A = this chain, B = another copy of it.
Amino acid sequence: MVKSIKDVAKAAGVSISTVSRVLNDSQGVREELRQKVLDAVQNLNYHSNAIARALKGMPMKTLGLLIPSIENPFFPSMVRGVQDEAHRNGYTVFLCNTDGSGIVEETQFKLLLNKKVDGVILVASKHTPKYLKDNLDFPLIMIDRYVDSPNLSYVTVDHAIGVKLALDHLYSLGHRNIAFLGSKLVSSGARERFQSYKRYMYDLKINFDESLLVFGDYTYESGIKMAEELLKRKVKFDAILCGNDLIAFGVIEVLKRNGINVPKDVSIVGYDDISFSSYHTPKLTTVHQPTYEVGQMSTKIILDMISGVDKRIKHIKIEPSLVIRETTCRVGSVDK
């Protein structure tokens, strides 16, 4: 049978207020009684009822985490980052998949609110600001993407740097005809990657060619389609910057099918550095997004918001890095 504070009180021969005090503040209770209570807690194997505490306004020590889908290999390490940081602080996290649907997102968000989560971390959608209007004081933080809303915190990755890293690398290898196969400009991340691509191509004085651009989704299948489309255009290219790693895998598959060697004929740079990228053959050169750190940092921040230590709005962009592996090489290179 599950014990209550009452049982402990009886066993220790004190009032429930005393037990509660020992369990919480610990202030102003005689050492002798304190010990008695602690012993009783031990003997009865008592564990406090988080529900009852929450009803009195205490924190549930529970976080909500809303992502598009845990099946998308981009998210697991981000999720792990928030979970590790949460667990370290006695917090537990509800994980929900929205499949990118604003409606589902809102439903899940409200459900989490009913269950009295202390805060929510979410991968935002265009729909997000709609229902957040009401909950401006509630601890919340966006990760990966953000929506325009100056009084909402977020932590994401600095894609301007990521794209620059990739383009500089390709440029230094002699590539000048660099195609971009990315996602439709539907999230802040996709927009920033494309805009940075345009800007750095300009900075590098590479003339910008519309026909080197294909847009699709962040999936393998879309990578296949986009690569086929690019090939069909008969335009000259010696390198491809992909919007993410999944796209890159699809692209490589299509090039191989068409007898085009990667990296000898065409260099490929991915984006994300999901775990598979280093298991792939050839191993993928890609921009590493520090997703674990994004998850971890967002959790630290929201925990601070909850405890009241620091309630300020934070806009954080973590620096990505370039991981050079086997899908890029000097243009016209002959070895291997």
Binding site for B on A (CB under 8 A): 47-52, 54-55, 60-62, 69-71, 73, 76-77, 79-80, 83-84, 87, 90, 92-97, 108, 110-116, 220, 246, 249-250, 252-253, 256, 275-276, 278-281
Chain B residues near A73: list those with CB within 8 A.
73, 76, 275-276
Asked whether, in the complex, the Cβ of B115 is within 8 Å of the Cβ of A50, the reply is yes
From B84, B115, B256, A281 is in contact (CB under 8 Å) with B256
Chain B residues near A108: list those with CB within 8 A.
87, 92
Return 12 A-B CB contacts under 8 Å, by A number: A47-B110, A47-B114, A50-B115, A70-B70, A70-B76, A70-B79, A70-B80, A70-B83, A73-B73, A73-B275, A83-B97, A220-B279
Chain B residues near A90: list those with CB within 8 A.
111
Chain B residues near A252: list those with CB within 8 A.
281
Q: How far is the CB of A296 from chain B (nearest CB, A)?
A: 13
From B52, B77, B250, A71 is in contact (CB under 8 Å) with B77
Q: How far is the CB of A164 from chain B (nearest CB, A)?
A: 27
Most chain B Cβ neighbours within 10 Å, of A93, A252, A276: A276
Chain B residues near A114: list those with CB within 8 A.
47-50
Nearest to A45 among chain B residues (CB) is: B134
Asked whether, in the complex, the Cβ of B49 is within 8 Å of the Cβ of A52, the reply is no
Asked whether, in the complex, the Cβ of B83 is within 8 Å of the Cβ of A96, the reply is yes
**With A111-B92, A115-B50 in contact, do A279 and B280 touch (Cβ < 8 Å)?**
yes
Nearest to A250 among chain B residues (CB) is: B279
> 20 more A-B contacts (CB under 8 A) besides A51-B54, A220-B278?
A47-B113, A48-B114, A51-B55, A52-B55, A60-B115, A61-B115, A70-B79, A73-B73, A73-B76, A73-B276, A80-B97, A83-B97, A87-B108, A92-B108, A95-B95, A249-B279, A276-B280, A279-B280, A280-B280, A280-B281
Q: How far is the CB of A263 from chain B (nearest CB, A)?
A: 14
From B87, B110, B281, A96 is in contact (CB under 8 Å) with B87
Q: How far is the CB of A274 from chain B (nearest CB, A)?
A: 9
Chain B residues near A97: list those with CB within 8 A.
80, 83-84, 87
Asked whether, in the complex, the Cβ of B70 is within 8 Å of the Cβ of A246, the reply is no
Q: How far is the CB of A102 from chain B (nearest CB, A)?
A: 16
Chain B residues near A275: list those with CB within 8 A.
71, 73
Chain B residues near A116: list those with CB within 8 A.
49-51
